[in-house]
Amino acid sequence: MRVEESIMPKANSDEIPAVPLTIEGYSVLHQMMRVRWSAWRQLAAADKSAIVDEAAGVLAAMERDSAGPSALFSLLGHKGDMMFVHFRQSFDELNSTELQLAQLRLADFLEPATSYLSVIELGLYESTIKAYQDLKDRGIEAHSEPWKREIGEVLARQKEAMHPRLFPEMPQHRYVSFYPMDRRRGEARNWYSLPIEERARQMNEHGLIGRRYAGEVRQIITGSIGFDDWEWGVDLFAQDPLTFKKLIYEMRFDEASAKFAEFGPFYTGVHFSAPQLGAFLSGQVPALLS
C-alpha cells in the first residue's frame, strides 16, 4: 500500500456526500480593457474610421451569434474603460474569440485590465439531497458505477429542463454589475464544513431575496472553481442601477451572505452595441439600446 493511501481517511458509506450536484451551460469570459486614449487621439480621422468599421463588424457578428453571443459595456470608474462579455459553447471557442479580437487593429489601442473565466452554473441542492437519499435508501453505494449512472440520469434530466437558463440570450438591459465571490473558510465559520442540508436551507433563503427582484434584475451565476481566482462570478443586469445597490444590500442581511460571503471587485457598466463603438471611442455616453 502506498503511504498516501494509508493515511487517507476512509469515507463512511452511510453518509450522504457533501458536494451538491451542479449543471453547467455556456462557457463565459469577461474581458476588462483600458483604452490607450492618448494614442487613439493622435490617429487621423480616416484611420479611426477604418479601425472602428473593422472592429464593429466583427463585434456585431458576435452579438448576433445565436450559438453564443457577446456584449460590450462602457465601464464606470478607474478599473477599466470597456468590458466584453462572451458566452460560448466551450473554452476552445472562448479562446478563438480572444484570438480573433487580438487580431483587430483596435487591439493596438486596448490594454487588458483584468479578465474572468467561468461557466454558467446552476446548483441543485434540493435535487441533490433527494437523489442522494433515494440512492442511500435503495442501498446503492456512493460513487459506485450504479450510483454514477443514476446521478448521470438526474443531471441529464435537469440540464434538459433548465436549458434556457444554462444557455441564455444575452440580457439587453441598460446596466450591468459583475463581481466575483467566495464562500468563507474562516477559523470560526467554514461554509464547506456545514452539512449539505444546512447549506441547502441557507441557499434557499438567499434565493428568495433574488426572486423578489425578478422583474427588475436579471441574474446569471457562473462557477469558476478551478478556472479563476474566485469561486463564482455574478452578473446582474437591470434598467436602473439602483436596483443593484438595493438587491445586494438586502442580501447582505441573509445568513448565507452575512456569515459566509466574501466579495471581490465590482465592475459596473453601461451596455452599448457594436454600431455605437465609434461614438464610445469619441467620448460619447452610449445611447439606449434599441
By annotation, the residues acting in catalysis are 179
CA 138 and chain centroid, separation: 37
Q: What is the DSSP string of 78-89?
A: TT-SEEEEEEES
Question: What's CA 173's distance to the chain center, in Å?
Answer: 16
Question: Which residues have a Cβ under 8 Å from the Cβ of 281 and sit 6 or more positions away?
Answer: 35, 40, 48, 52
Other C-beta atoms closer than 10 Å to the C-beta of 243 total 18
Nearest alpha-carbon partner for 170 in 30, 23, 277:
30
- Tell me how far the alpha carbon of residue 37 is from its chain's centroid: 29
Tell me the three state secondary structure of residue 178. Answer: strand
Residues in contact with 2: Cβ distance below 8 Å, sequence separation at least 6, in sequence order: none
Phi, psi of 34 (to 5 degrees): -105, 135
Contact (CB, 8 A) for 54 and 277: no
- Rounded-to-integer distance, Cα 97 and Cα 101, Å: 6
Cβ proximity of 274 and 72 under 8 Å: yes
Residue indicated by cell numbers 459506485: 144
Contact 266, 255 (CB under 8 A): no
DSSP single-letter state for residue 76: -
